[in-house]
Structure formats: structure tokens, C-alpha cells
């Protein structure tokens, strides 16, 4: 059975595949899409219990990507492969009782300059190949404000310099939060919390009351403060 908490990223990858000409997983027991030569986030597969970690990563065809697993593999099954323990978290998008102060300006990505700044932070922190910039341009053109409006990219600036990012994908009455990160030297300024608040505000304008995300251990604290609760541990293979 497909994991309901991963329905939002599954549909996002399907949309991205149509834009970039990506390919669907063809192995039985695997769903998802391989869409990029360069960007791990744009290649996501979803494995059933019948799929071994090695077979799952082989389906990425040598490209960087994530494979969401049905259960945590043993050390023997994993071998040299790397797995992260992510946590699915959910929240309402209701406004907080009080807004936390932050040092920066939060805005929606609309221009080429905005997207360049967004991608510089995103790729710099996550280690994505700079060649993926054009792919994000195509995605933003199709799904962003000039497209169908299902994807919102958020950028925080400090003194005019790009400092932190976020992304929100709206689908089926749910806001999926992704790509939230802050440059190391800009941390501790409340930017992540401000970006989450902006994401929730955007969801409310669309009449969306629920949000979901997949958090790393380091990110949980920010999301708990924003009202998120932990739902389920989700192991994910990271390749390479």
C-alpha cells in the first residue's frame, strides 16, 4: 500500500516529469520518477517491501536521488548505501498566536533574479549541481505564478543578500513543504520559522488548512515550534 504521507511528493514528481520529460520507475514494486541528471531532489522513487535497497538505487540509473523505503533495511541489506531517518510531520496552517521576530525580508520568487538567488542558496547548502538551475527555471515557469500556481518558491534575504529558501506544493487540499534551508552564516535569525509562516499564509489564501513535510533530525525543532507534530519515521536512501 502506498504511504499516504508521501502522496504530495509523489504527485509533485509526476508534475515535474511532465515538465522535464522524466521517466517513470519501471521495476515492479517501485513508483516515482527520475527527472534530472543533476538534482537529487528531482529524482524520487517510492519502494514497496519487496524491493531491496540495491535494486532501488539501481533504478536511479546512476543519477543522484532519493528512494523512500517501506521499512528500515538491516545493515546487511544496506551494505555501503546511505540511509536517512526522516520524519513525516503534519500541521494546520492556522496563524500562530504570535509571530516570532526575524531578521530578514521574506518574499515570493517571481523574477529571474529571485530564482537565481533562490537556487544559489538551495544548491549551495544541499550540494546540488549548478547545472540544475535551468531545470528549476522550467519547473517554476510551469508551476509558479506565471504557470498554474501550484508551486510557490520562497526566498529570505538579509540586507539584500539571499539567505534562506523554502518551497510549497499545493495539491488535493494539502500544502507540501520542501527545500527549507538556510546558509550557515545566516542561521539563528529566525528565517526558517518566518519562511514556514509565509508558506502557511500562502496556503490559507488558497483555502488549504493542512500542511505536510518530511524533516531531518536537525530540522524537527523548527517545525515543532511552528506547530507540527511527528506522524511517522520514514527511511530514505540517499544516492550517491
Each residue of 184-199: pLDDT tens digit?
Answer: 999 999 999 999 999 9
Q: Reading across the β-sheet that carries 30-34, which strands appear in turn?
A: 23-24, 30-34, 43-47, 65-68, 229-239, 82-92, 210-215, 174-182, 161-171, 151-158, 105-108
Report, at the CATH architecture level, how domain 92-232 is classified.
3-Layer(aba) Sandwich (3.40)
For the chain, percent of residues with pLDDT exceeding 70:
99
DSSP strands (E only) in 25-160: 30-34, 43-47, 65-68, 82-92, 105-108, 151-158
Q: Is the pLDDT of residue 1 over 60?
A: no
Residue ranges of domains in the chain: 4-86, 92-232
Assign 2 a pLDDT band (cuts: 50, 70, 90).
low
Looking at per-residue pLDDT, the higher value among 79 and 150 belongs to: 150
Which three cell numbers, joined as nine digits, stand for 45?
Answer: 522513487
> For residue range 71-118, what is the model confidence (pLDDT) as tens digits?
999 999 898 899 999 999 999 999 987 777 778 999 999 999 999 999
> For residue range 23-58, what is the model confidence (pLDDT) as tens digits?
999 899 999 999 999 999 999 999 999 999 999 999
Quote the pTM value.
0.95
Amino acid at each position: 500500500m502506498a504511504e499516504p504521507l508521501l502522496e504530495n511528493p509523489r504527485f509533485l514528481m509526476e508534475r515535474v516529469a511532465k515538465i522535464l520529460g522524466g521517466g517513470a520507475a519501471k521495476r515492479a514494486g517501485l513508483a516515482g520518477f527520475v527527472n534530472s541528471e543533476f538534482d537529487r531532489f528531482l529524482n524520487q522513487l517510492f519502494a514497496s517491501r519487496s524491493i531491496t535497497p540495491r535494486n532501488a538505487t539501481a533504478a536511479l540509473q546512476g543519477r543522484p536521488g532519493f528512494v523512500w523505503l517501506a521499512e528500515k533495511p538491516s545493515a546487511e541489506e544496506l551494505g555501503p548505501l546511505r540511509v536517512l531517518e526522516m520524519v513525516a510531520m503534519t500541521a494546520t496552517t492556522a496563524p500562530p498566536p504570535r509571530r516570532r521576530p526575524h531578521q530578514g525580508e521574506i518574499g515570493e520568487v517571481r523574477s529571474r533574479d529571485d530564482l537565481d538567488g533562490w537556487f544559489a542558496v538551495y544548491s549551495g547548502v544541499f550540494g546540488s549541481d549548478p547545472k540544475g538551475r535551468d531545470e528549476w527555471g522550467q519547473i517554476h515557469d510551469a508551476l509558479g505564478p506565471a504557470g498554474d500556481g501550484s508551486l510557490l518558491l520562497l526566498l529570505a534575504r538579509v540586507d539584500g543578500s539571499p539567505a534562506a529558501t523554502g518551497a510549497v506544493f499545493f495539491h488535493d487540499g494539502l500544502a507540501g513543504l520542501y527545500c527549507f534551508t538556510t546558509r550557515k552564516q545566516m542561521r539563528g535569525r529566525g528565517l526558517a520559522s518566518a519562511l514556514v509562516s509565509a508558506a502557511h499564509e500562502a496556503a490559507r489564501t488558497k483555502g488549504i488548512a493542512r500542511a505536510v513535510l518530511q524533516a531531518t533530525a536537525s530540522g524537527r525543532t523548527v517545525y515543532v515550534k511552528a506547530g507540527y507534530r511527528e506522524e511517522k519515521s520514514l527511511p530514505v536512501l540517499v544516492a550517491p
